[in-house]
Structure 1
Amino acid sequence: MTSTATDLPGQNLPLDPPGPLAGPVLRPGDADYAAEVSGFNLAYHPAPALVVAATSTQDVSVAVRWGAQLGLRVVAQSTGHGLYDDRAGTLMVTTRRLTGVTVDADGPAPTARVAAGARWRDVIAATAPYGLAPLSGSSSSVGAVGYTLGGGIGVLARQYGFAADHVRALTLVTADGTVRRLTADAPDGTPEADLFWAIRGGRVGFGIVTELEIALFPVARLHGGGVFFDIADAPAVLHAWRTWAPQLPREVTTSVALLQLPPDPQLPPPLSGRFVVHLRFASTGPVDQAEALLAPLRASAPIIMDTVGELPYAAVDAVHMDPPLPLPALGHGFGLSDLTPEAVDALVGTCGAGSGSALVIAEIRLLGGALAEQPAVANAVPGRSSAFGFWAIGVPMGPAADVVPAHLRRAADALTPWRDGGQPNFVDLDGDAGVRALYPDAVRQRLARIAAAHDPADVLGGTAMFG
Structure 2
Amino acid sequence: MDHLDSTADLLALRPGDPGYDDELAGFQLGFAQRPAVVVAASSAADVVTAVRYAAAENLPVGVQATGHGLPGGCEGGVLITTRRMDRVTVDPAARTVRVQAGVRWAQVVAAAGPHGLAPLNGSAPGVGAVSYTLGGGLGILARQYGYAADHVRWLEVVTADGELRHVTVESDPDLYWALLGAGQNFGVVTELEIGLVPVRTLYGGSLAFDGRVVDPAVVLRAWEAWTRTVPEGLTSSFAAAAYPDLPALPAHLRGRHVVSVRIAHTGADGEGLVAPLRRIGPVLADSLREMPYAESHTIHSDPDFPHAYYGDSAVLRELDVERAGELLRTTGPEAATMCVVQVNHLGGVLGRPAPNAVPHREGRFLLRLLTVGDRERARAVLDPAFALLADDTLGRSLNFAFGAGDRGRGLYDPGTRERLAGLKEQYDPANLFRRNYGVSAC
| Structure 1 length-normalised TM | 0.90
The one-letter code of the counterpart of 2:243 is: L
Q: Is the 8 A contact 1:24 1:54 kept in 2?
A: yes
Asked which structure has the greater RCO (Cα within 8 Å, sep 6+), the reply is 2
Q: Distance between the aligned counterparts of 1:422 and 1:370, measured in 2?
A: 19
Q: Distance between the aligned counterparts of 1:373 and 1:462, measured in 2?
A: 31
Quote the offset at 1:19 in angstroms: 7.7
- Quick check: 1:323 aligned with 2:271? no
Question: Aligned runs of 1:177-326 on 2, under 5 Å?
Answer: 177-186=162-171, 192-232=172-212, 233=214, 234-262=216-244, 269-286=251-268, 289-326=269-306
Alpha-carbon distance change, 315 to 261 in structure 1, aligned in 2, over 3 angstroms: farther
What whole-Å deviation, never above 9, does each CA across 1:199-218 have from its counterpart, x for those lacking one? 00011211100001000000
Partner of residue 426 from structure 1, selected from 374, 388, 400: 400
Q: Which runs of 5+ in 2 are unaligned?
A: none
Q: Distance between the aligned counterparts of 1:216 and 1:300, measured in 2?
A: 36
The one-letter code of the counterpart of 1:426 is: F
The one-letter code of the counterpart of 2:297 is: D
The aligned residue for residue 358 of structure 2 is 381
What whole-Å deviation, never above 9, does each CA across 1:294-328 have from its counterpart, x for those lacking one? 11111101111101111111111111111011111
Alpha-carbon distance change, 184 to 110 in structure 1, aligned in 2, over 3 angstroms: farther
Structure 1 or 2: more helix by fraction = 1
Partner of residue 416 from structure 2, selected from 435, 443, 454: 443
Q: Distance between the aligned counterparts of 1:152 and 1:37, measured in 2?
A: 24
- Quick check: 1:361 aligned with 2:340? yes
451-460 or 246-255, which deviates more: 451-460
Q: Distance between the aligned counterparts of 2:18 and 2:7, measured in 1?
A: 22
Alpha-carbon distance change, 462 to 185 in structure 1, aligned in 2, over 3 angstroms: farther
The aligned residue for residue 372 of structure 1 is 351
Q: Distance between the aligned counterparts of 2:416 and 2:84, measured in 1?
A: 34
Quote the offset at 1:463 in angstroms: 11
The aligned residue for residue 11 of structure 1 is none
Q: Distance between the aligned counterparts of 2:257 and 2:22, measured in 1?
A: 34
- Quick check: 1:413 aligned with 2:393? no
What whole-Å deviation, never above 9, does each CA across 1:42-63 have from its counterpart, x for those lacking one? 1112111111000000000000
Q: Distance between the aligned counterparts of 1:280 and 1:245, measured in 2?
A: 12
SS for the counterpart of 1:442 is helix
Alpha-carbon distance change, 197 to 362 in structure 1, aligned in 2, over 3 angstroms: same
55-64 or 319-328, which deviates more: 319-328
Quote the offset at 1:18 in angstroms: 9.3
- Quick check: 1:26 aligned with 2:13? yes
SS for the counterpart of 2:23 is helix
The one-letter code of the counterpart of 1:131 is: G
Partner of residue 50 from structure 2, selected from 63, 67, 87: 63
Q: Distance between the aligned counterparts of 2:228 and 2:330, measured in 1?
A: 24
Q: Distance between the aligned counterparts of 2:126 and 2:326, measured in 1?
A: 32
Q: Is the 8 A contact 2:242 2:332 kept in 1?
A: no
SS for the counterpart of 1:67 is helix
What is the RMSD computed on CA atoms of the aligned residues? Answer: 1.9
Q: Distance between the aligned counterparts of 2:399 and 2:61, measured in 1?
A: 19
The aligned residue for residue 36 of structure 1 is 23
SS for the counterpart of 1:227 is strand
Quote the offset at 1:266 in angstroms: 8.0
The one-letter code of the counterpart of 2:345 is: L
Q: Is the 8 A contact 1:231 1:352 kept in 2?
A: no
Q: Is the 8 A contact 2:143 2:350 kept in 1?
A: yes
Q: Is the 8 A contact 1:38 1:46 kept in 2?
A: no
Structure 1 segments (4+ residues) deviating >4 Å: 262-268
Q: Is the 8 A contact 2:71 2:436 kept in 1?
A: no
Q: Which runs of 5+ in 1 are unaligned?
A: 4-14, 187-191
The aligned residue for residue 139 of structure 1 is 124
Q: Distance between the aligned counterparts of 1:464 and 1:282, measured in 2?
A: 30
What whole-Å deviation, never above 9, does each CA across 1:254-303 have from its counterpart, x for those lacking one? 111111335577865433442210211111112xx111111111110111
Query: What fraction of aligned residue pairs are identical, expressed as a percent?
Result: 42
Q: Is the 8 A contact 1:359 1:408 kept in 2?
A: no
Alpha-carbon distance change, 262 to 402 in structure 1, aligned in 2, over 3 angstroms: same
Alpha-carbon distance change, 443 to 356 in structure 1, aligned in 2, over 3 angstroms: closer
Alpha-carbon distance change, 429 to 215 in structure 1, aligned in 2, over 3 angstroms: same
The aligned residue for residue 123 of structure 1 is 108
What whole-Å deviation, never above 9, does each CA across 1:433-462 have from its counterpart, x for those lacking one? 443422122221211121111222221139
Q: Distance between the aligned counterparts of 2:439 and 2:387, measured in 1?
A: 25
| Structure 2 length-normalised TM | 0.94
Q: What is the number of residues matched between the two proteins?
A: 438
Q: Distance between the aligned counterparts of 1:339 and 1:283, measured in 2?
A: 22
Alpha-carbon distance change, 462 to 440 in structure 1, aligned in 2, over 3 angstroms: farther
Q: Distance between the aligned counterparts of 1:423 and 1:216, measured in 2?
A: 23
What whole-Å deviation, never above 9, does each CA across 1:344-375 have from its counterpart, x for those lacking one? 3222221235x435233111110110110112
Q: Distance between the aligned counterparts of 1:294 and 1:230, measured in 2?
A: 18
Q: Distance between the aligned counterparts of 2:373 and 2:71, measured in 1?
A: 13
Q: Distance between the aligned counterparts of 2:83 and 2:403, measured in 1?
A: 25
